[in-house]
């Protein structure tokens, strides 16, 4: 009897707390990919042995300043890096914000960083040495919206497509 009354009270209290809690505006972005055959970067300035390590990059902006978390799980010895405003694979010390290698195991890496609005960030997924590459899954989470920044080739393709549409429309009106 006393256990039943306790359970009823616990369920009622839980329902009360669940009812008054508010949901947080948080964004989580997951990006999967493969670094095999990708462009390479030099991590020797950071005491890593590799000078031609395959990597992928994810350029993004945030609409809310605050602490964002970054995590990767890979099938190889992974490392992750964060750069602000620009990224040069030949000079990985320029614009470097933070990085991580071997968080829980050699195939995971994670860190947290305070990000500001108005900056473009470059999240780099790579290996810790030249022969370290393959498939990965990366997650970014934080208090605001995380928006991918289109690569220049995407803008070029958009411009060419719009020009082609304009040319076609003009030809139709002339004939």
| 48 — pLDDT class (breaks 50, 70, 90) | confident
- Report if residue 14 sits inside a domain: no
- Report if residue 117 sits inside a domain: yes
- The tokens describing 109, both together, are 């890496």
- The tokens describing 24, both together, are 């947080």
Could you report the per-residue pLDDT of 74-104, keeping only the tens digit for each? 999 999 999 999 999 989 999 999 999 887 8
User: How far is it, in rounded angstroms, from Cα 114 to Cα 121?
Assistant: 11
- Report if residue 64 sits inside a domain: yes
Q: Give how many domains the chain has, as a whole number.
A: 1
- Report if residue 84 sits inside a domain: yes
| 155 — pLDDT class (breaks 50, 70, 90) | very low
Q: What is the pLDDT of residue 47?
A: 83
The whole model's pTM is what?
Answer: 0.72
User: How far is it, in rounded angstroms, from Cα 100 to Cα 73?
Assistant: 12
- Report if residue 29 sits inside a domain: yes
Q: What is the pLDDT of residue 79?
A: 94
- Report if residue 37 sits inside a domain: yes
Residue 47 is part of which domain span? 25-174
Q: Is the pLDDT of residue 8 over 90?
A: no
Please name which of 39, 36, 99 lies closest in space to residue 71, comparing C-alpha atoms.
99
* Residue 125 or residue 154, greater confidence: 125
- Report if residue 16 sits inside a domain: no
> What distances in angstroms separate CA 80 from CA 35, 37, 50, one per listed residue?
12, 18, 14
Count of beta carbons in the 10 Å neighbourhood of residue 112: 14
Please name which of 60, 62, 58, 49 lies closest in space to residue 80, comparing C-alpha atoms.
58
CATH code of the domain containing 76: 2.60.120.380
- Report if residue 105 sits inside a domain: yes
Q: Is the pLDDT of residue 165 over 90?
A: no
Could you report the per-residue pLDDT of 108-140, keeping only the tens digit for each? 999 999 999 999 999 999 998 888 999 999 999
The average confidence (pLDDT) of the chain is 82
Q: Is the pLDDT of residue 174 over 80?
A: no
């Amino acid at each position: 009897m006393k256990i039943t009354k306790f359970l009823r009270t616990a369920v009622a209290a839980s329902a009360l707390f669940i009812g008054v809690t508010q949901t947080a505006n948080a964004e989580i972005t997951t990006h999967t990919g493969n670094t095999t055959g990708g462009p390479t970067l030099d991590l020797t300035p950071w005491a890593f042995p590799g000078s031609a390590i395959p990597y992928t990059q994810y350029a993004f902006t945030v609409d809310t300043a605050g602490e964002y978390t970054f995590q990767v799980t890979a099938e190889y010895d992974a490392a992750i890096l964060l750069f602000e405003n620009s990224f040069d694979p030949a000079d990985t010390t320029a614009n470097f914000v933070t990085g991580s290698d071997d968080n829980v195991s050699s195939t995971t890496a994670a860190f947290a960083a305070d990000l500001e609005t108005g900056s473009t960030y470059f999240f780099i997924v790579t290996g810790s040495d030249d022969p370290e590459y393959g498939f990965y899954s990366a997650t970014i989470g934080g208090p605001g919206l995380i928006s991918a920044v289109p690569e220049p080739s995407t803008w070029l393709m958009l411009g060419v497509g719009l020009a082609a549409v304009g040319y076609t429309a003009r030809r139709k009106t002339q004939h």
